[in-house]
Amino acid sequence: MAVVGFTVTCSPGREAAAGVRQIGPGWVSLVLSMDPGRVVIDVPTVSGGAVVLARFCRDLAREASRIAADLDPGHALTTGGES
């Protein structure tokens, strides 16, 4: 399978949300519902794909928390000491 790079630029609508879609036992996808539109990020079909997606999700969570704190400092999340 060839890997194709792409860039998507969008803005979340008022009803935008993030969630997890359970596909099967031990198989999940990260879902970004943009209102309108949706981005679904699946576990990569490479050796160790679950670990690759887990690392990406941790990076995404960290960076999303940083930008959220900058944009709306009164509602900053705490991470329990993880840096």
pLDDT tens-digit profile of 31-75? 999 999 999 999 998 999 999 999 999 999 999 999 999 999 988
Q: Are 61 and 78 in contact (CB under 8 A)?
A: no
Q: Is 24 helix (H, G, I), strand (E, B) or coil?
A: strand
Q: How far is CA 62 from the centre of its chain?
A: 10
CA distance 79 to 83: 8
pTM: 0.78
Q: Are 23 and 29 in contact (CB under 8 A)?
A: yes
20 phi, psi to nearest 5 deg? -120, 135
Domain ranges of the chain: 17-73
Pairing type for strands 38-42 and 17-24 reads unpaired
Give the pLDDT of residue 17.
Answer: 97
